[in-house]
Amino acid sequence: MARAGVFICHCGSNIASVIDVEQVAKSAEQMTGVVYAATNKYACSISGQEMMKQAIIDHQLDRLVIASCTPRMHETTFRKMLGKTSVNPYMLEVANIREQCSWVHTDKEKATAKAIDLVRMSLAKVLKNQPLFTSSIPVCKKCLVIGGGIAGIQAALDIADGGYEVTLVEREPSLGGKMVMLDKTFPTLDCSACISTPKMAEVGAHPRIKLMSSCEVSAVSGYIGNFEVTIKQNPRYVDHDICTGCGLCEEKCPTKLKSSFDQGLGQRKAIYKLFPQAVPAKPVIDAQHCTKLTKDKCGVCAKVCPLGCINFADQESYTTDTFGAIILATGYQLIDWGSHYPEYGGGAYADVISGLQFERLVNASGPTEGKIKRPSDGAQPKSVAIIKCVGSRDVAKAHGYCSRACCMYAAKHAHQTIEKIAGAQVYIFYIDVRTPGKAYEEFYDRTREDGAVYIRGRVSKIYEENGKLICKGEDTLIGKQVTVEVDLVVLETAMEPAANSGQTAALAGVSADKDGWLTEAHPKLRPVETQSAGVFLCGTAQGPKDIPDTVAQASAAAAKVLGLLAKDELETSPMISAVDTSKCSGCRFCEQVCPVKAISMIDIPSIYNGQKVKRTVAQVNSGLCSGCGACSAACRTGCIDLLGFTNKQILEEVDALWQ
């Protein structure tokens, strides 16, 4: 005879304010199989756990129903608790009476009745539970970091410094990401390149980091501790094993193109290094624009290269490696504002630029050597309008979210303009000024002190008239329309997830939210983990943030990975599929639906009409199976069961609803 205990959690007032928990406990006590029922203020707290442990001893319980928050929250907590008792950790069911009851209902009577139903259902299930036991798998002590911006750089260095091997995959020909494009960083105004390039160099020289530039992840299989990852090396057309980075090829290349690194404001060649301090410090060929590759003309680079590094026949290649953990640090891109804002000229005015373009203009190593010159005629602007929230906080045209960093770098841009151009007039159009960071508000104070004029109101239109850019706004604080006529307009545009970041994340089983930002396992308590065990995330891939937050998150992800790689073996969940081979017909449908390729077919000896024959049946790889249940749902003979969620358990649970 089963001896079940039922525990109802108040969750402070989260549950108890809507559900009559004592009533639920009283009802539970009457249910068949229950020998003890009680309530607790916080079941997850140490005292709550002690109370349940004591009840297990006092009443010789052999299984538990805990009615509390979602099992996603504390099922693991409770299982760990049971691990220290005589009850098998899998002889537990969590009835969700918070998210699925008290939080979504207001009628106390009905909510209490529903909670009793939920408890009865969980009880019906737990009565059919069987003890399950974990096994263990070895951990490959190597981490893959995807993305070579400041997030990926920081995470890679922390893990490598901790003693483990790291492979860092970067799509661009160099490390650096967005941070290395910036001029100065707020609020301290230290030079962005000066603080990021040493870290890049450190990655390039680190004995435990393998840097793979011009590479992309093309396939991920396996599971925590043992991911099999295929990495595509895009052709570089330059043999980096021989190349010394002398730069002769770049110097002689006759094809000049707009530099993406300089945001279209400067030039580069068809064979190029992304920027002077690039890591690796070796060039690649831009296949789309190289005339040798497109028209079979030129080939000057190959002629001048003293070491014969140029290989026009270079092809993409693939390598596969095993990793214990993966960090997604795929970063952001800026919105293509022109296609969203025709009222700002839609990109037709050369002197309406993005904030990142301004960074290149003001950067000493940028195309103007740090002199702020407007793109149209190279003249020094005497007046500048800075417009915030372009593409952010705008559900109608672009994104509803706040991009978080713009308020600060708008202030920085104003400060830099006033510092570099004597007598410059700067107007900042804003809706709110958000400066929640250490020394941020003080920076905003200083910018106003510098003389920047803050105008509260979103600009309706920007147009050109008689050589001036006219911004039409309203100063909402005086309630009057205002117009400024300026030489340069800087749009502080929204961050959005980097192109293809969603696809890359999906390879590793990580989902994205409606805006494309990668989803963390829990927004507060598991901010760098994902729902895919062994896959972590950091930086702007997860959502808009500034450099300090990005670096902090990168180190957090690294700490998580270090904790994982420090283990020699991992416990695996026993809640995986099991095949009843006596009923399996070998139809292979399960093999097709399995998303992690955990099912294969084997031949087993069998007897048919008194004859010995071989029969093909399914078998489950316990290391790969993630317990998703797809095979069980697909199985036509009903021979596959998900342990912990057997068909019998679930049907009992459903039946209990009608009792």
Partner 1 sequence: MVGKNLSLLPDENKQKIESLVKKAGAKLSDCYQCGKCSAGCPMAESMDLMPRQVLRYLQLGLLQEALSSQAPWICATCQTCSARCPHDVPIAEIMEAIRRQADQMGIRPLRRTYLFSKYFLLPLKLFGRNHELTLTMFYNLTSGKLFQHFTYLPAMLKSRKLKIWPAKVKNRLAVRKIMENCEKEAQNI
Partner 2 sequence: MKYSYFPGCSMEATGIEYAKSLNYVNRAIGLDFIEIEDWNCCGATAGHTKSHELGIALPLRNLALAEQQLPGLAMAVPCASCYSRMKYALQAAHSEEREKFSRLIDMPVEGSVEIVSIMDIYSVEKTKTAISAAITKRLSNLKIACYYGCLYSRPPKITMAHNIENPQNMDELVRLTGATTVDWAYKTECCGAGHHVDIPQESKPLLYRIYKNARANGANALVTACPMCMLNLDMRQGAVNKAYDENFDLPVYYLSEILAIAMGATFKECGVASHFHPAKKLLQKENETKEVV
Interior angle at CA 376, CA 373 and CA 377, nearest 5: 65
Is 465 a binder of partner 1 (CB under 8 A)? no
Residue among 461, 474, 475, 606 that touches partner 2 (CB under 8 A): 461
Quote the tokens at residue 124. 């019906």
Residue among 473, 509, 534, 539 that touches partner 1 (CB under 8 A): 473
Residue among 343, 569, 603, 655 that touches partner 2 (CB under 8 A): 343
Pairing of strands 383-390, 325-328: unpaired
Q: Which is nearer to partner 2, 138 or 342 (CB)?
A: 342
Compute the distance between CA of residue 340 and CA of residue 333 in angstroms, rounded to an integer.
15
For the bound state, the minimum distance from the C-beta of residue 482 to partner 1, rounded and expressed in Å, comes to 8
Residues 6 or more apart whose CB falls under 8 angstroms from that of 256 comprise 267, 268, 269
How far does the chain reach from its first CA to its final CA, in angstroms? 21
Residue 295, class by beta-carbon neighbours within 10 Å (0-12 exposed, 13-18 middle, 19+ buried)?
exposed
Compute the distance between CA of residue 161 and CA of residue 157 in angstroms, rounded to an integer.
6
Is 423 a binder of partner 1 (CB under 8 A)? no
Sequence length of the chain is 659
How far apart, in Å, are the Cα atoms of 406 and each of 47, 351, 386, 440, 499? 46, 19, 11, 12, 20
By CB under 8 A, which span of 84-92, 350-358, 477-485, 495-503 interacts with partner 1? Answer: 477-485
Residue among 250, 336, 450, 464 that touches partner 2 (CB under 8 A): 464
Residue among 236, 360, 393, 560 that touches partner 1 (CB under 8 A): 393
Is 463 a binder of partner 2 (CB under 8 A)? yes
For the bound state, the minimum distance from the C-beta of residue 514 to partner 1, rounded and expressed in Å, comes to 17
By CB under 8 A, which span of 313-321, 445-453, 466-474, 492-500 interacts with partner 1? Answer: 466-474
Residue among 145, 200, 424, 459 that touches partner 1 (CB under 8 A): 459
Which x/- pattern, by CB under 8 A, does the window 344-373 give for partner 2? --x-x-------------------------
Distance of CA 83 to the CA centre of its chain: 33
Q: Residue 464: which of partner 1, partner 2, none does it interact with, CB under 5 to 8 A by kind?
A: partner 2
Instruction: Give the residue ranges of DSSP H helices in 162-275.
Output: 192-205, 248-252
Q: Which is nearer to partner 1, 346 or 527 (CB)?
A: 346
Q: Residue 457: which of partner 2, partner 1, none does it interact with, CB under 5 to 8 A by kind?
A: partner 1
- SS3 of the chain: helix, strand, coil, percent, to 5: 30, 25, 45
Residue among 465, 524, 609, 610 that touches partner 2 (CB under 8 A): 465
Other residues' Cβ atoms within 10 Å of the Cβ of residue 131: 12
Q: Residue 466: which of partner 1, partner 2, none does it interact with, CB under 5 to 8 A by kind?
A: partner 2
Q: Residue 346: which of partner 2, partner 1, none does it interact with, CB under 5 to 8 A by kind?
A: partner 2
| 510: alpha, beta or left? (left if phi > 0; alpha if psi -120 to 50) | beta
Compute the distance between CA of residue 126 and CA of residue 88 in angstroms, rounded to an integer.
12
Q: Residue 473: which of partner 2, partner 1, none does it interact with, CB under 5 to 8 A by kind?
A: partner 1
Is 339 a binder of partner 1 (CB under 8 A)? no
For the bound state, the minimum distance from the C-beta of residue 459 to partner 1, rounded and expressed in Å, comes to 6
Compute the distance between CA of residue 383 and CA of residue 485 in angstroms, rounded to an integer.
8
Q: Which is nearer to partner 2, 470 or 634 (CB)?
A: 470
Compute the distance between CA of residue 596 and CA of residue 137 in angstroms, rounded to an integer.
16
Is 336 a binder of partner 2 (CB under 8 A)? no
For the bound state, the minimum distance from the C-beta of residue 443 to partner 2, rounded and expressed in Å, comes to 35
Is 395 a binder of partner 1 (CB under 8 A)? yes
Compute the distance between CA of residue 366 and CA of residue 182 in angstroms, rounded to an integer.
10
Is 480 a binder of partner 1 (CB under 8 A)? yes
Name the site residues for partner 2 (rule: CB under 8 A): 342-343, 346, 348, 461, 463-466
Name the site residues for partner 1 (rule: CB under 8 A): 343, 389, 393-397, 431, 456-461, 472-476, 479-481
